[in-house]
Structure 1
Amino acid sequence: MSNCWRSRRGTVFSCGFEPGLFSCFGVLLLTTHVLYGEANTNTSVVVQKDAQFDITYLDTFALTTMHIISSLSSDHFKRTEGVRVSVELLSERPNGPVLFVVRQKQAVLSFQVPLILRGLYQRKYQYTQVGRTLCQPPTLALSEMQFFYVDVSTLSTSGVHYQLRVSRVESFTLQTDKKFTFNATPSQPQFFKYVFPDGEDTVIVKVNSQKNFPCSVMSIQDIQCPVYDLDNNVAFIGMYQTMTKTGAITVQRKDFPSNSFYVVVVVKTEDEACGGPLKFYSLLPDELLDAGNRSKTLDVVVSPAINSNVYIMGVLFCLGIFLSFYILTFLVACIENKRLHRKRAGLLKAADMSPAETGNLATGLSPASPYEYGSFADNGSTMSSEPVTDSMASAETNDGYMERPLDVVGRCRQESLSSVEEDDYDTLADIDSDKNIVRTKKYLCVSDLARKDKRVLNKKYQIYFWNIATIAVFYALPVIQLVITYQTVVNVTGNQDICYYNFLCAHPLGALSSFNNILSNLGYVMLGLLFLLIVLQRDILHNRALMRNDTPALECGIPKHFGLFYAMGTALMMEGLLSACYHVCPNYTNFQFDTSFMYMIAGLCMLKLYQKRHPDINASAYSAYACLAAVIFFSVLGVVFGKGNTAFWVVFSVIHIVATMLLSTQLYYVGRWRLDSGILRRILYVIYTDCIRQCSGPMYIDRMVLLVMGNIVNWSLAAYGLIKRPNDFASYLLAIAICNLLLYFAFYIIMKLRSGERVLFLALVCILFTAVVWGFALFFFFQGLSTWQKTPAESREHNRDCILLSFFDDHDIWHFLSSIAMFGSFLVLLTMDDDLDTIQREKIYVF
């Protein structure tokens, strides 16, 4: 039942409609008083026409003419339909715009034709076709009648020709899992309504397009009038994000009291926000630019998100995976403990054996299997050609072994337990010339580089742990504060371009926008803690053996220093914490949170490999962390200034090559060289004596092979960086560290086998397991679900759906596998030399 009425100043036909249902509309050109010269005359003319929905009407009017177009329709709209007003200005150059005002009970929508929209640098674009959808304000009662009016006015003195059409909007209310296709332009935005069904608390709104440009914006807004659906106001309320081909926003019922929301799609006037070309114009003050054809076809679909059961399953899965490593470690520890008990029982039974047999049993060596060094045919002859110091005064057995006399063993034990100053790091009793004699031998043994007091070295290497613990505290606290601020800004402003999530698999929890990406970092923390517990157990067992004055613990095997292992475990835990902080809001400004401790882990692993055979001359914690700080510094510079900057790449490549050469020299001469004013003279002297005067090969062949390979790899990486200039400088720098680590590790394993050493079963299992896991981890890492090197809209083109338990994506699996692979790599470093625990250090070669 409709109510129609007539105004006194003009003719206005209006029609009521049932709650929430538009049934008719009216158009009114307001009566205008015009002043011509000195006379103020009312010359308005009223022309009335009947109108219907979905019919296009053409009209021409000027300042002195008023057209009234009204409609009376008995058709009722369905609740899934809306009303859309479309206007096109047909006059080529009107001397004034036409103003359209749509008046509703709770809102007023006004726009002018031609519509002027502003772009970057305040550039103005003119649109003569405008289409706007009317919002549907909620009604208070079912019996309440609602009206809307369309008023048309202009100040143009010449005739303005335009067309008007009011039409139904099909599928205005979106259905779950039902795709709807539509077109949009900057002056003809679109929005749709979605109502949460019963039992559905979270949904994902996905908008897709077949082409990248023009750039678009999708927004989620509460049901209210007016709807902000233009490029210059779409960011005022709600959540929004720019998009090219793909956009996705997770919406929760708790954020919308009306249990419904609008999905707004706006096409931007320019494409720079989506990574499009930046156009430059030499503009006059009021010059209008041609907008061109910026129509875009898009699809919108609303899908149910996961429920609480999936969250619980994801958390339990994550905990179960890593707790299983604790259980497996406990079982292996029990088995190893039983094996040690059997070994001790065998030693007790052998107490009545002859001294020679007991010695062979204690050392774990068989006279029938001499310990040879790969290509060296005779161990004894090799060592006899070198100067012998007091600490190396030993006799060779008939089988080619070097057994140290008991008095030397006792003296070394007494020296290792003597009191020393805590800050005395160089306690070698011999003079510097003796260092040169020992360390420049052609074939070094571990005993030559393990002459410093053990307690002093322990304190030296414990500094690694305490320093990294201190760094972690001072680094983590401001990081946590900063990412909380980032997340707060995202939640308050609704700007989802701030953070580079995988929006197709970003599951919110509380204030966190992507809880699954944070949860998957739990493995780093749990496995880092487990590694610390394993190292602590080994440390305790080793200290007990020292207290018992066990010969193998004092004189055999690689010297046990656990400080670097503690630092590695702490770094792994911090990598998990900082990676979780980074994934709270991953973006361009906080990338270093995720990479800083990766550099530290790679550096600490290389230092530990070198320390195994060079305990006396390994770098101090201060110099090591200073070098790592320089790496992080260059990482930041590369990201900020490296993109397309030739000068930066030239400087970095030169520094890279020079640092490689200096480190190669340090490794080749085992630290027995000095960087001073005489360095050039000594280099020329070596070239003259070794290359010109006599053509002799390198003295340290194995080290030379490693360093030549290392220089080839690093020079190649430097050339690649200088030529290609990769955008992701942080990953490039990390690749340099990983390549050097893998090269040194491969060299270590090859030299270990070449020296006649063997890899125990447990270490071999760890190596194979870690290699396989690293392969799968890198596969998922290179999937590239998002990247902060591009614009947020371009990054969303790489987004993918969840692939594990409907909760974890490819990058989460990378977190799982990489944490396991790092843990396995640490175990390899911890166990790879266990076969030497019963071998005297005079028989363990340095490489």
Structure 2
Amino acid sequence: MVMLIWWKSRHKPLPGFLSMCFKWNFILRLLFQLFLFTLVLNVSCDELTTERNRIVQKDAQFDYTYNDEVNNDNQTIYAFNHTVSRNKTEGVRVWVNLLSENTKSPILFVVRQKQAVLSFQVPLILRGLYQRKYQYTQVGRTLCQPPTRAVSEMQYFYVDVSTLSSTGISYQLRVSRVESFTLQTEVKFSFTATPSQPQYFKYDFPDGVDSVIVKVNSQTNFPCSVMSIQDIQCPVYDLDNNVAFIGMYQTMTTTAAITVQRKEFPSNSFYVVVVVKTEDEACGGPLKYYPLLPDQLMDPGNRSKTLEVVVSPAIKPDVYIMGMLFCLGIFLSFYVLTFLMACVENKRRRGQTNPADMSPAETGMLLGKGLVTPSPYEYGSVADNGSSFSSEAITDSIASAEVHYGYMERSMESVGCSRRDSLSSVEEDDYDTLADIDSDKNIVRTKKYLCVSDLARKDKRILSKKYQIYFWNIATIAVFYALPVIQLVITYQTVVNVTGNQDICYYNFLCAHPLGALSSFNNILSNLGYVMLGLLFLLIVLHRDIAHNRALVRNDLAALECGIPKHFGLFYAMGTALMMEGLLSACYHVCPNYTNFQFDTSFMYMIAGLCMLKLYQKRHPDINASAYTAYACLAAVIFFSVLGVVFGKGNTVFWIVFSVIHILATLLLSTQLYYMGRWRLDSGVFRRVLNTVYTDCIRTCSGPMYIDRMVLLVMGNIVNWSLAAYGLIERPSDFASYLLAIAICNLLLYFAFYIIMKLRSGERIQCLALVCILFTAVVWGFALYFFFQGLSTWQKTPAESREHNRDCILLSFFDDHDIWHFLSSIAMFGSFLVLLTMDDDLDNVQRDKIYVF
């Protein structure tokens, strides 16, 4: 061919044979091209004809039910049009019902809109837990309605129906307008939803409203549902498997509530989406059986749920200001009252004669007026018959009175020498390492009649430093405990704000007022009382500490040799613990849940333990536990609290181990208290126990030597054994509260014993202490009432917890739990004042006339 073209280009005639070949080649090529063109044209025409046979477009209308059939040879397109107004949002809903049964191929519905495409298949397959599949033949979906800029605009949308099934599938199609698609403020609207027919509605913020609370209620607990708040955008995530993709959401049984702020939605509007879940496990419902075959379809059952939605305006900024001022006003009033009482007390003291300016004889006369007549109920003095006193007791009383009389006649000079000796450079261990002192310990502490002077023999300066360790240790613990807690709760709050998953935190959503990044500011603010009253208590203790040190400097006889020994280290620790309780409780309420509940209770355990130690220290200053031992025991309690929260629910082994440890610890502590620390746990303990039982119970059948101590310890063991049995049998789900109840019961028991023994010993309670006791008891009663209201509980699922949510009851800002914070902080402060002032009546009584119990 190339040669022919070249020959032609030379303008030379071709030979006859070659010229003929060239002509036939041209003709053959032309015929071949015509054949190819015809073939392609025929195929294209066939395809166009086939396409025209498959696609059928209908001009459809609203609120009309179409009964049609579809297979792989035809496709139906329904064309709709409607007018969209900028000032009115109109919802459009597509409803499909599958009439054919046992279809192998589903029908695909595709809704094409101006700015969105919605597609779904019928039957609709939704997956639940463990990938279990549920089939729904009725599907209803609401079309997304993007906003329009025009005043009025005609919009078109198309519903395409197709399938790959070779056999015809019958279906019903209905497109209708949704009445009341836009929610109105304070207007309730009822609707019905199922897993395959979710519902959502639009809400526009009215002028002047910056925050609203969306409430969804139902009369039935199940089926489980999800309420979601989403921005106005397409697509809308309204199925169980995608509703958590955007926005804020929470599961619900009967109640759900979400506070929405205008600043979070630039369009000044949002969607309220309600989806019914395929299963109820997320709401604490029963777990269905697992299918034997992985592709087996589960029966969805009747999962229709009727709900009611209402949108109400949230509180205004003025309510926030009133709530903060109210909170500050309550606790600042305690500062003002304390200041006024201090002024009155200083004025009263100035009118009295200064004891430092009196002669020793006059000081002795002043002390003599404060002496307490020996009581027949002194420690261990009750005779066996319970009606008379032994001669030994009378003799000891007379001897004690003679000693007291001689003690009163000591000169001021001898007191000064004693003071100088006590301030000498000695260590606490100097007493313990001397054999004679150790022997004297055994003699003194096993006496039948013990006075505070018998257990206040160690150097005052050394004891003061020993008890100051309580304060420094708890301050160190507070710093290292609080920093990671604050970091963790900030992370929790960030996760909630970013993911929108409001099931993470257990708020009272009907009274949760957000401020900034905080979801429930009111629950955090109400903890301010713990901090302010804890600081006030520290200031009161500091004032007493300074006054006591000044009295020691001027060699005041009352400060040196009278009253309960003044050691303020435990008081400082108690005030610090109260402040930390407020801080950690606030951190817990940033996002309350079962993983961080120990933040709210850790320092409650410490407060209860420190109060019991302070009560014991009052009459036993020399033999009280060291700070290291006390905090180690409290750390063990917190450790068990964490284990109980994580592993305690329904774990039989854990409860058995804990109950055994609880009972053994009670027995060991009882033995230690009964023998005043003169009891050792070593290899010979069992032999000594058997000897004691044989000697005292079998051979002589004698009663206990220390009756009052025995009564207390028997009651304590009964209470603790009962609590251990209750825990082992009932296994309460809230282990942290159960452990706190054990601590509080023991504290109340010991406090009641202290008050009773104080009155039996002939002592009296001054007016200030009595007022504090009565006031504190009343406040504790009201506080516990609000505590047991139970507005939320992390022992249940978040949906079940919201069933207990209630509206605010104070200033439209604080709920029942906030009032518990107010009252409990005041009650704890009052309890601390009781411990501080309860023995003020003994300030002018010599220590060898103050009985130990």
Q: TM-score, normalised by structure 2?
A: 0.90
Indicate whether 1:183 and 2:183 are aligned.
no
Indicate whether 1:677 and 2:683 are aligned.
yes
For 1:312-351, what aligned pairs fall within 5 Å after superposition? 312-344=321-353, 351=358
Distance in structure 1 (CA, Å) of the matches to 2:365 and 2:694:
49
* Correspondence for 2:553: 547
* Correspondence for 2:541: 535
Indicate whether 1:664 and 2:667 are aligned.
no
Greater displacement, 331-340 / 321-330: 331-340
For 1:203-352, what aligned pairs fall within 5 Å after superposition? 203-344=212-353, 351=358
Distance in structure 2 (CA, Å) of the matches to 1:634 and 1:105:
61
- Residues 422 and 459 in structure 1, CA contact (< 8 A), matched pair in contact too: no
Point out the structure with the larger helix share.
Answer: 2
For 1:316-715, what aligned pairs fall within 5 Å after superposition? 316-344=325-353, 351=358, 358-365=363-370, 370-374=373-377, 382=393, 384-385=395-396, 395-397=403-405, 403=408, 405-406=410-411, 409-421=415-427, 426=432, 430-715=436-721
- Residues 639 and 728 in structure 1, CA contact (< 8 A), matched pair in contact too: yes
- Residues 508 and 514 in structure 1, CA contact (< 8 A), matched pair in contact too: yes
How many angstroms does 1:170 deviate by?
A: 1.1
Give the 3-state SS of the residue equivalent to 1:589 in structure 2: coil
How many angstroms does 1:288 deviate by?
A: 1.5
For 1:34-183, what aligned pairs fall within 5 Å after superposition? 44=53, 51-70=60-79, 79=88, 81-142=90-151, 144-183=153-192
Distance in structure 1 (CA, Å) of the matches to 2:717 and 2:184:
62
Letter in 1 for 2:850: I
Letter in 1 for 2:366: L
- Residues 425 and 457 in structure 1, CA contact (< 8 A), matched pair in contact too: no
- Residues 95 and 158 in structure 1, CA contact (< 8 A), matched pair in contact too: no
How many angstroms does 1:94 deviate by?
A: 1.6
Letter in 2 for 1:256: F
- Residues 387 and 437 in structure 1, CA contact (< 8 A), matched pair in contact too: no
Letter in 1 for 2:620: H
- Residues 786 and 795 in structure 1, CA contact (< 8 A), matched pair in contact too: yes
Indicate whether 1:836 and 2:842 are aligned.
yes
- Residues 53 and 167 in structure 1, CA contact (< 8 A), matched pair in contact too: yes
- Residues 79 and 156 in structure 2, CA contact (< 8 A), matched pair in contact too: no
Distance in structure 2 (CA, Å) of the matches to 1:790 and 1:86:
37
Q: Determine what percentage of the aligned residue pairs are the same residue.
A: 81
Distance in structure 1 (CA, Å) of the matches to 2:541 and 2:322:
32
Letter in 1 for 2:393: T
Give the 3-state SS of the residue equivalent to 2:592 in structure 1: coil
How many angstroms does 1:413 deviate by?
A: 2.5
* CA spacing shift, 1:380–1:597, aligned 2, 3 Å: farther
Letter in 2 for 1:644: G
Distance in structure 2 (CA, Å) of the matches to 1:541 and 1:380:
44
* Correspondence for 1:748: 754
* CA spacing shift, 1:230–1:453, aligned 2, 3 Å: same
Letter in 2 for 1:552: A
Q: Which of these two proteins has the greater Rg computed from alpha carbons?
A: 2
Greater displacement, 634-643 / 196-205: 634-643
How many angstroms does 1:78 deviate by?
A: 8.9
Give the 3-state SS of the residue equivalent to 2:68 in structure 1: strand
Letter in 2 for 1:770: T
* CA spacing shift, 1:586–1:72, aligned 2, 3 Å: closer
How many angstroms does 1:146 deviate by?
A: 2.6
* Correspondence for 2:830: 824
Distance in structure 2 (CA, Å) of the matches to 1:387 and 1:358:
23
Distance in structure 2 (CA, Å) of the matches to 1:462 and 1:811:
35
- What's the RMSD between the two structures over aligned residues? 2.5
- Residues 427 and 453 in structure 1, CA contact (< 8 A), matched pair in contact too: no
* CA spacing shift, 1:218–1:508, aligned 2, 3 Å: same
Give the 3-state SS of the residue equivalent to 1:395 in structure 2: helix
Structure 2 unaligned segments of length 5 or more: list them: 1-42, 382-387
Distance in structure 2 (CA, Å) of the matches to 1:554 and 1:74:
95
Give the 3-state SS of the residue equivalent to 1:758 in structure 2: coil
- Residues 774 and 821 in structure 1, CA contact (< 8 A), matched pair in contact too: yes
Distance in structure 1 (CA, Å) of the matches to 2:376 and 2:769:
21
Distance in structure 1 (CA, Å) of the matches to 2:313 and 2:692:
74
Letter in 1 for 2:265: F
- 1:360-410 CA deviation, whole Å, 9 max, x = no partner? 2244437xx73425366889963854999xxx996354xxx9647448645
* CA spacing shift, 1:409–1:160, aligned 2, 3 Å: same
* CA spacing shift, 1:608–1:71, aligned 2, 3 Å: closer
Indicate whether 1:192 and 2:201 are aligned.
yes
- 1:634-691 CA deviation, whole Å, 9 max, x = no partner? 1111111111111111111111111001100011110011111111111111111111
- Residues 183 and 295 in structure 1, CA contact (< 8 A), matched pair in contact too: yes
Distance in structure 2 (CA, Å) of the matches to 1:387 and 1:326:
48
- Residues 394 and 403 in structure 1, CA contact (< 8 A), matched pair in contact too: no
For 1:804-815, what aligned pairs fall within 5 Å after superposition? 804-815=810-821
* CA spacing shift, 1:645–1:45, aligned 2, 3 Å: closer
How many angstroms does 1:266 deviate by?
A: 0.4
Distance in structure 1 (CA, Å) of the matches to 2:86 and 2:176:
11
Distance in structure 1 (CA, Å) of the matches to 2:455 and 2:587:
42
Letter in 2 for 1:628: L
Letter in 1 for 2:298: L
Letter in 2 for 1:842: D
Letter in 2 for 1:79: K
For 1:746-785, what aligned pairs fall within 5 Å after superposition? 746-785=752-791
Distance in structure 2 (CA, Å) of the matches to 1:816 and 1:365:
39
- 1:92-116 CA deviation, whole Å, 9 max, x = no partner? 1122111111111111011111111
Q: TM-score, normalised by structure 1?
A: 0.91
Distance in structure 2 (CA, Å) of the matches to 1:814 and 1:386:
49
Distance in structure 2 (CA, Å) of the matches to 1:420 and 1:46:
105
* CA spacing shift, 1:694–1:602, aligned 2, 3 Å: same
* Correspondence for 1:14: none
* CA spacing shift, 1:362–1:131, aligned 2, 3 Å: same
Distance in structure 1 (CA, Å) of the matches to 2:771 and 2:155:
76
Distance in structure 1 (CA, Å) of the matches to 2:81 and 2:629:
86
Give the 3-state SS of the residue equivalent to 2:53 in structure 1: coil
